[in-house]
Structure 1
Amino acid sequence: MDWTDVGLVIGARTHGETSVILELMTLAHGRHLGMVRGGRSRRFAAVLQPGNTVQATWRARLDEHLGTYTVEPQVQRAATLIATPAATFGLQHVAALLRLLPERDPHPDLHAAAERVVGQLTEPMLAAALLVRFELGVLADLGFGLDLDACAMTGVRTDLSYVSPKTGRAASRTAGAPWADKLLVLPAFLTGTAEMPTAADIAAGFALTGYFFARRVYEPRGLAVPHEREAFLRALALV
């Protein structure tokens, strides 16, 4: 059996003397691994780097087998991304988030979002705003999506300013004011009312998503918060 798909390289490790186990986030087949024979050769060295986008054909006798990849480069951006700490840590964090998803489970929207984030990592603050939205998307696909469309108490869809740490639902500025010290800040760029978030807005966005990742994903799985996330935020002076 075989298929051909486009994939973002999120990891590669050596296998034997000449091969590589390649980890891709593909459009139609989710996070998927396969062996690239001869992947340690000079021909493939620059292609199989995290951050690049490739066209990959996967082949295996049975679906449950590791299988093999043949790859062709589409977008080679890895060399640019490793030039700055923010881009390097941002890429590593995207990969860590994608590894929270079940292997071979399609998530086409997250594939597209990951490509957008990685494609903007040379513009760190723009990438940071996209990465907050990407984290929200991962939470949603893991079954822990936040309800940021309307105020949970009044139903209004304007001036949404807070999020309940218990329910993950939004609250308007007026309705949430009496409990403001117990609620999480909802920055305006996550509600579509601000196109150019400030550094403070982005920091608030990461604080919001970080809270729910810690409580609903990492702690229940017995996982520590990935150090790549903290390193990315420190590189942008957001913590």
Structure 2
Amino acid sequence: MRSETSAIVCALRSHGEHGAIVRLITPEQGLIAAYVRGARGRRMRPVLMAGNVVQAQLSARTETQLPQAVIELVHSRGPLLSEPLPAAAIEWTTVLTATALPEGQPYPRLYQALEGLLDAIDAAPSASGWGAALVRYELLLLAELGFGLDLERCAVTGTNDNLVAVSPKSGRAVSAAEAEPFAGKLLPLPRFLREGGPASWQEIAQGLDITGHFLMRDLLTDRARPIGEARARLVERLRRAGGLA
């Protein structure tokens, strides 16, 4: 069995003396794992960095066998890894993808969204240019895995007027009038998630508070400790960059 696909590198785990198992997200096959010979060698290490776009030739004798992959670099994001904030964003989004998604199920919208987010980081390393896209990617991942939030109408009145908060229990939006008695217990809902467009540093931080709460509660659970550390580094650097720390 042979196939060829474009892919984004999400994770790498050493296997044997020189090889590694690489986890890739692809447009049509979703998340896949494959063995790469020489992955830890000097030539392949820069190719298999998280966030890189690659072309993968996959081969296996049976459907149940771990495929072997021959990987060629298409686009490197290595230069971004020397910048603390873009590096933290790439680390988080790729490890989140590799951890949360089941293997072998296609998620074309997630692939496109991750590709767009990484392209945005490439184009404008400042988080003011891609922070909103990061929040939207996390919201999309929650939705694709069955934990979508309802930010379109008030959980109490059913209307879409003056939505200002999100219930941390139900994941539904709440209007200003209904939110007032629960001040301090609800998550602020930033305007860009209601109306689109760019986001301020404060709004990006608010959006990440929302998605972080539901990611840790509903998706990552037992795996939250190591994954949470990557996210905590990113959020801390975002707050510092925006003068919010």
Are the equivalent residues in 2 in contact too, given 1:135–1:209 (CA < 8 A)? Answer: yes
Q: Corresponding residue for 1:84? A: 83
Q: Structure 2 vs 1, CA of residues 22 and 217 (structure 1 numbering), >3 Å: closer, same or farther?
A: closer
Post-superposition offset of 1:127 = 2.4
Tell me the distance in 2 between the aligned counterparts of 1:223 and 1:76: 28
SS in 2 for 1:130: helix
Are the equivalent residues in 2 in contact too, given 1:163–1:170 (CA < 8 A)? Answer: yes
SS in 2 for 1:57: strand
Q: Which amino acid aligns with 1:53?
A: V
Aligned: 1:123 with 2:111: no
Q: Which amino acid aligns with 1:198?
A: S
Post-superposition offset of 1:194 = 4.8
Are the equivalent residues in 2 in contact too, given 1:117–1:131 (CA < 8 A)? Answer: yes
Q: Corresponding residue for 2:224? A: 223
Q: Which amino acid aligns with 1:217?
A: L
SS in 1 for 2:51: coil
Post-superposition offset of 1:42 = 4.1
Q: What is the aligned counterpart of 2:173 among 170, 186, 206?
A: 170
Post-superposition offset of 1:208 = 1.0
CA deviations over 1:150-198 (Å, ceiling 9, x no partner)? 122222223221111221111222332333332211101111x252211
- Runs of 4+ in structure 1 deviating by more than 6 angstroms, as ranges, are none
Q: TM-score, normalised by structure 1?
A: 0.89
Q: Corresponding residue for 1:141? A: 144
Q: Corresponding residue for 1:181? A: 184
Post-superposition offset of 1:89 = 1.3
Q: Corresponding residue for 1:50? A: 50
Are the equivalent residues in 1 in contact too, given 2:100–2:220 (CA < 8 A)? Answer: no
Q: What is the aligned counterpart of 1:204 among 206, 231, 236?
A: 206
CA deviations over 1:186-218 (Å, ceiling 9, x no partner)? 101111x25221111111111111221232233
Q: Corresponding residue for 1:37? A: 37
Q: Corresponding residue for 2:94? A: 95
Are the equivalent residues in 1 in contact too, given 2:128–2:199 (CA < 8 A)? Answer: no
Unaligned segments of structure 1, at least 5 residues: none
Tell me the distance in 1 between the aligned counterparts of 2:138 and 2:164: 19
CA deviations over 1:87-129 (Å, ceiling 9, x no partner)? 1111111122111111222211111111122222323232222
Q: Structure 2 vs 1, CA of residues 97 and 179 (structure 1 numbering), >3 Å: closer, same or farther?
A: same
CA deviations over 1:122-153 (Å, ceiling 9, x no partner)? 23232222111111112112221101111222
Q: TM-score, normalised by structure 2?
A: 0.87
Count of residues in correspondence between the two structures: 236
SS in 1 for 2:210: helix
Q: Corresponding residue for 1:195? A: 197
Are the equivalent residues in 2 in contact too, given 1:89–1:228 (CA < 8 A)? Answer: yes
SS in 2 for 1:82: helix
Q: Corresponding residue for 1:65? A: 65
Tell me the distance in 1 between the aligned counterparts of 2:181 and 2:91: 39
